[in-house]
Structure 1
Amino acid sequence: MNATRDYLMPGGGADITTLPKVSLHDHLDGGLRPQTIIDLGAEIGLDVPATDAGDLGEWFAEKSDSGSLVEYLKTFDLTTAVMQTREGLTRVAREFVQDLAADGVVYGEIRWAPEQHVARGLSLDETVEAVQEGLEAGVADAAAGGHSIRVGQLVSAMRHTDRGLEIAKLAHRHLGNGVVGFDIAGPEAGFPPSNLRDAFDYLAQNFVPRTVHAGEADGLESIKGALFDGRALRLGHGVRLAEDIRAEREDDENTYVTLGPLAQWVKDREIALELSPSSNLQTGAIERWGEELIDHPFDLLYQLGFRVTVNTDNRLMSATSLTRELWLLAQTFDYDLSDLAVFQLNAAAASFLPLEEREALAETIIAGFDEA
């Protein structure tokens, strides 16, 4: 993340970095520090594309800016390669929380796929325990530096493998001991949530909260599957829900908007959209509307009353932070502090915390924005 002074509100207002934030969609294997990849890679004899941290960071950003989710996901082969030992997982998780705290995050849900981290002999449970150890160390580090942060794990199953029920049971075993919910990730098109119906049945029967990647690399049918097969309480990205919204210009001053049944359902039930502006540009998720941030349907969804949230998705691949994403949106759509506060309150309300703790989180956000 660049210097704090680069992220003032338009017109030289409040410092966005210091505002309290909630991060709901942030991948552990997409948020490594380049130097950590270099260090851990050297320990296991892994060739990396660059041995200078700055150069490696640029390599990730360049390779990720492909316009294709499939190509974007290939960069994770390198990050997951250095996350196959207890030490590697613990270090990455600890630094992840440190970086969230530096970004002003007060609550974060960190998603990752344990099944991708067993190549060097760890069991699934051992990977979860190693990550939890790192997360707790990172929270302690933040507290020592005067920053209060809470975090939870979102255990992801890869949608193109056949381990959904196994991973669902893993999430349930660790629920309340670091894990706060479940997700499915990986290639979206061709791998619908219905393929993991047994996992979602199990999760529903055992009251495990669920968010599902949908509406990023596939369209409305994927979102339907997330809601009705996956019983998703949130949509991971969900940006292509805008395909179910029709805008018709009657004249130079009036535009009429009609919501399709799926969009109306999502809006009426306040199902949160985990939007990730920079990532959505990189993966081509908004190509139907354009190639610039101004083309992103974020503002349309916000103005229509959807529960929009702002996320980084993968901070390494997008060379970004939550502060930067908010700053970009404020610059592009002329948002003020009250808008940014709404995005954080939306995220707090959609988090997988118990009700009373969600309310306390909202109070923290309001107090922080009032002081800005």
Structure 2
Amino acid sequence: MPIDQNGDTTIEGVSLRSLPKVSLHDHLDGGLRPATIIELADAAGVAVPERDAAALGDWFARQADSGSLVEYLKTFDLTIAVMQTRAGLTRVAREFVEDLVADGVVYGEVRWAPEQHVAGGLSLDEAVAAVQDGIEQAEDAAASAGHDIRVGQLISAMRHTDRSLQIAKLAVSWRDRGAVGFDIAGPEDGFPPARLREAFDYLAGQFFPATVHAGEAAGLDSIRSALLDGRALRLGHGVRIAEDVDVVGEDGDEVQVRFGDLARWVRDREIPLELSPSSNLQTGAIAAWGTTVADHPFDLLYQLGFAVTVNVDNRTMSRTSLTRELALLAETFDYGLDDLEAFQLNAAAGAFLPIEEREELIDIIAAGFGR
């Protein structure tokens, strides 16, 4: 089951790229086309390490493959620097959605932190409007070409700054105008969700959903704080929940495990895990288990009944796509179409959409997988 140069593969006679997909964890500033970065950098007077688009793509992948989330995050200095104008934000958002369409995505949530995009003079509100304009342009173009896609914004606050309440209010103000949820991003270790409790209290009072980066660079305490302080409905990555699952033996093909209270709660409440296999390798999030996709606890969590979803995190840094992430998992764990459909159904069920629209999305996935 070889993966071709575009990250695609065929399973049971079906191209993975052609299947309907749901993308829940995808950063706007981590999904720029290298050629676009060069053009925007030239216009803004920003230096780039490589002048050729392919070479720049190689540079991102090389820099991101550090085994450290802190080092991984440094690659965003360049992408954020070229996203400081209305035109730049609109173009990046439009191309972002175009690339989702090319990847077979039918519903996506794009997360980004507006507070990082006001150095050029834009207000927070103007920045969100610019991104929404780009999203809608691409949605309309896709519809004209016969591909229906909907993309919602996840407005993120940086967890190491002191603007979380302001950003939470910004997100709620864009409810029904493009924003579907809230997130916190940036350095996880040392900056627990409890630090942003006031913002999460406000969001809870507004019944506005939140997903929280947790269980990536920090462990179980981070996940616990995301659930208790952040009222997280999903866990951004959340891969280290596997630290609360002890494998105590094997009985034939079955693994015998002992659940901690936290892991059991996450599994039994079907709290979606926004897993990103390639990114989790690059940032060292799965270092406790190993350094290859085969070492990722994805399959363990899936087999144990956790609501696992598959995501790209940052397409540029990981030089990946949702199709490629699914292909890697299928190749590594011998998954078939039923398994890949289950991941999409988990994502659809966890989408920040009204129940009626989630049910429609589930029908689209079932039809696309031939059910």
What is the TM-score normalised by the length of structure 2?
0.97
For 1:90, what is the secondary structure of its paired residue?
Answer: helix
Which residue does 1:192 correspond to in 2? 192
- Cα separation, 1, equivalents of 2:29 and 2:35: 14
Please give the alpha-carbon distance, in whole angstroms, between the structure 2 residues aligned to 1:55 and 1:250.
47
The alpha-carbon deviation at position 249 of structure 1 amounts to: 2.1
1:69 corresponds to: 69
TM-superposed deviation, 1:254: 5.8
1:235 aligns with 2:223: no
Q: Distance in 1 between matches of 2:266 and 2:102?
A: 33
Do the aligned partners of 1:9 and 1:336 also contact (CA within 8 Å) in 2?
no
C-alpha separation in 1, matches of 2:21 and 2:254: 35
State the AA in 1 paired with 2:321.
Answer: S
- For residues 335 and 252 of structure 1, what CA distance do their matches in structure 2 show? 20
Matches within 5 A, 1:76-91: 76-91=76-91
Identity of aligned residues (%): 69
Structure 1 residues 112 and 297: CA distance shift in structure 2, 3 A: same
CA distance in 1, matches of 2:180, 2:199: 16
Sort the Cα spacing of 1:85 and 1:249 in 2 relative to 1 into closer, same or farther, 3 A.
same
Deviation for aligned residue 1:123: 0.4
Residue identity opposite 1:7 in structure 2: D
Q: CA deviation at 1:143?
A: 1.7
Question: How big is the alpha-carbon RMSD for the aligned residues of Structure 1 and Structure 2?
Answer: 1.4
Contact kept in structure 1, 2:7 and 2:323, CA below 8 Å: no
2:50 maps to a residue whose letter is A
Match of 2:170 in 1: 170
- 1:363 maps to 363
- Counterpart in the other structure of 2:265: 265
Give SS of 1:23's match: strand
1:222 — aligned with what? 222
Partner deviation per Cα, 1:256-315 (whole Å, 9 max, x = no partner): 111100000001111000000000000000000000000000000000000000000000
C-alpha distance after superposition, 1:76-103 (max 9, x if no partner): 0000000000000000000000000000
How do residues 56-205 of structure 1 correspond to structure 2 at under 5 angstroms? Answer: 56-205=56-205
Corresponding residue for residue 293 of structure 2: 293
User: Which segment drifts farther, 158-167 or 246-255?
Assistant: 246-255
Quote how far apart the aligned CAs of 1:146 are: 1.9
Distance 1:71 1:266 in 2: 29
Helix, strand or coil at the partner of 2:240 = helix
Give the conservation status (yes or no) of the 8 Å contact 2:34–2:57: yes
1:4 and 1:17 in contact (8 A); partners too: no
Q: Is the 8 A contact 1:142 1:148 kept in 2?
A: yes
Aligned mates of 1:29, 1:111 — CA distance in 2: 9
- 1:316 alignment partner, SS class: helix
Match of residue 248 from structure 1: 248
- 1:221-263 CA-to-partner distances (Å, cap 9, x unmatched) read 0000000000000000000000000001257766411110000
The amino acid across from 1:230 in the alignment is G
Cα distance in 1 for partners of 2:250, 2:45 equals 63
SS of equivalent residue, structure 1 residue 70: helix
1:209 alignment partner in structure 2: 209
Tell me the amino acid that sits aligned with residue 344 of structure 2: Q
SS in 1 for 2:314: coil
Query: TM-score normalized by structure 1?
Result: 0.97
Structure 1 residue matching 2:10: 3-state secondary structure? coil
Q: Secondary structure at the match of 2:14?
A: coil
Q: Deviations 1:90-129 (Å, cap 9, x if unpaired)?
A: 0000000000000000000000000000001100000000
Q: CA deviation at 1:171?
A: 0.3
CA offset digits 1:335-361 (Å, max 9, x no partner): 000000000000000000000000000
Moved more, 66-75 or 137-146: 137-146
In structure 1, give the amino acid aligned to 2:124. L
Residue 26 of structure 2 is matched in structure 1 by: 26
Conservation of the 8 A alpha-carbon contact between 1:27 and 1:112? yes
Report how many residues are paired.
Answer: 369
Change (3 A) 1:273 1:174: same
Q: Take 1:254 and 1:139, find their aligned partners in 2: how far apart are those partners?
A: 45
- Partner residue of 1:8? 9
How far did residue 19 of structure 1 move?
A: 0.1
Instruction: Return structure 1 stretches of 4+ with deviation > 3 angstroms.
Output: 2-6, 250-255
CA change 1:268–1:43 in 2 (3 A) is same
Structure 1 residues 114, 338: CA separation in 2 closer, same or farther (over 3 Å shift)? same
Cα shift readout 1:44-68 (whole Å, capped 9, x = no counterpart): 1111011110000000000000000
Shift of the 344–226 alpha-carbon distance from structure 1 to 2, 3 Å rule, reads: same
CA contact (8 A) 2:7 2:320 kept: no
